[in-house]
Amino acid sequence: MLKLENVIKVYTANENNVDALQEISLQVPSRIFLAIQGQSGSGKSTLLNILGCLDRPTSGTYTVDGADTGKLSDDGLASLRNQRFGFIFQSFNLLPRFNALENVMLPFLYSPSPPENPRAVAQQMLEKVGLGNRMHHLPGELSGGQQQRVAVARALVNKPGVILADEPTGALDSKSSREIVDLLAELNAEGKTVIIITHEADIASQCPYVLTLSDGRITDLKSPKNAKVSQKVVASL
């Protein structure tokens, strides 16, 4: 359960204060498939970054499964990121000179208790996303869609509860886009919370929950019709 209470995020860029998020309160229970949409500059990336503990709120509280992130040190946050969250970026962000397998194994470097056989686990993940036969390829040797799938495998490798994807299909053609979204949906079906930022309406339409941001505020929350109260996303508009 991810809980944001009165979160404000202010950036200082060249002496100007940019209000990226203004008093966001949001509750995301587990196993949710949530899409966040909005114009560029609406604050959706900032929201995702805070959700994933990549960034801290300027004020307000963010609790992850009851733990107050405000009370965690930078190292504590790092640990949290490693264990609980998996990231997928728009521009894939794979290390260019390491092969797929090595890229997937990256999170293990920082796990407090990595598996006995990290290679095997990484291999498994690659097979899961359908790239078992491309383990030793370099990112430059893979198509955009394949690279993103490696990124997904990487995000999964520590078995986190939450997957956060920032415009995962932004750099892909329509076929690969569909593959990735299907993959994400599959992961959600397996029990992971999947939060995805997108500006494409047809992707958003595949998600049961859609949060709309504008100028740092939540302006809309679309929920599925038969959502159970205890398992609902709650947002203050």
Partner 1 sequence: MKRVLFKTAARQLGANKAATLFMCAGIMVGIAVLTIVIALSQGTKARILERIDRMAASDTFTVRTSPWGQGGGGMGSNSGAFLLSFEDILSLQEQIPGVTAALPALNARGTVTSGKSVMDSVSVQGVVQEFQQVRNSTVQSGSFFSDFDIKEGSRTAIVGPAVANHFFPGENPVGEMIQVEGMQLEVIGVLTSRGATGKGSNADEIILVPHTLFTKMFQPAGLSTVTVKVDNIADVERLADETKAFLEALHPGQEIYVRVPMTTVGTRQETSRTLSLYLTVVAIVALLVGGVVMMNLTSLSISARTREIGLRKALGARNRDISQQILFETAMISALAGLTGILLGILLTILLTARLELQALLSWHAPVAGLIFALLIGLLFGVRPANRAARLDPVTALRSVG
Partner 2 sequence: MKNKAELSLNAFTLVLRTVAVNKKRCLFAVLGIIIGVAAVTTLVSMGYSAQRALANELEKLGTNILIVEAARASTGQGRGGQGSTVKTLSESDIGSLTDEVEGIAAAVPVLQLQGEIKSGANVVKTSVLATRDTFAEIRGLTTADGRLFLEEEDAAARRVILLGKTVAERLFDVPEPVGEIIRVNNVLFEIVGILSERGLDSNGEDQDDFVIVPLTTAQRRLTGEKYLTHIYIRATDTESIPAVKEGITAVLRIAHRLGESEPADFNILDQTELLEARTDILGSVEDLVGILAVVVLLAGGLGITAVQLISIRERTWEIGLHRAFGARKKDITIQFLFEAAILGGIGGLAGAVLGLITPLAVAVIFSLEPAIAWPTLFISLIISVMIGIAAGLYPALYASRLDPVVALRSA
**Cβ proximity of 80 and 34 under 8 Å:** no
Find the binder of partner 1 among 96, 127, 219, 227 (CB under 8 A): 96
Residue 111 binds which entry of partner 2, partner 1, none, CB below 5-8 Å type-dependent? partner 2
Name the phi and psi angles at 131, rounded to 5.
-120, 30
Name the residue with tokens 């994400």.
Answer: 184
Figure out which of the listed residues 29, 60, 114, 130 binds partner 2, where binding follows CB under 8 A.
114
Give Cα 13 to chain centroid, integer Å: 25
Which residue, 15 or 75, has its beta carbon nearer to partner 2?
75
Strand residue runs (E) in the chain: 2-13, 16-28, 33-38, 59-64, 67-68, 85-88, 162-166, 193-197, 209-214, 217-222, 234-235
User: Residue 8 interacts with partner 2 (CB under 8 A)?
Assistant: no
**Is residue 189 close enough to count as binding partner 2 by CB under 8 A?**
no
- The minimum distance between CB 32 and partner 2, in angstroms, equals 22
Q: Are strands 234-235 and 162-166 parallel, antiparallel or unpaired?
A: unpaired
Those residues with Cβ within 8 angstroms of residue 82's Cβ, 6 or more apart along the chain or in another chain: 107, 110, 111, 112, 158
Contact positions with partner 1 (CB under 8 A) in 148-207: 170-171
Instruction: Report what 98 binds from partner 2, partner 1, none; CB cut-off 5-8 Å by kind.
Output: partner 2
Q: Is residue 138 involved in binding partner 1 (CB under 8 A)? A: no
Q: Which residues on neighbouring strands pair with residue 61, listed in sequence order?
A: 5
How many CB atoms sit inside 10 A of residue 61's CB? 15
90 binds partner 1 (CB under 8 A): yes
Nearer to partner 2, 55 or 167 (CB): 55
Choose, by CB under 8 A, the member of 66, 112, 140, 191 that binds partner 2. 112
5 touches, from partner 2, partner 1, none (C-beta below 5 to 8 Å by class): none
**Residues binding partner 1: number (CB under 8 A):** 7
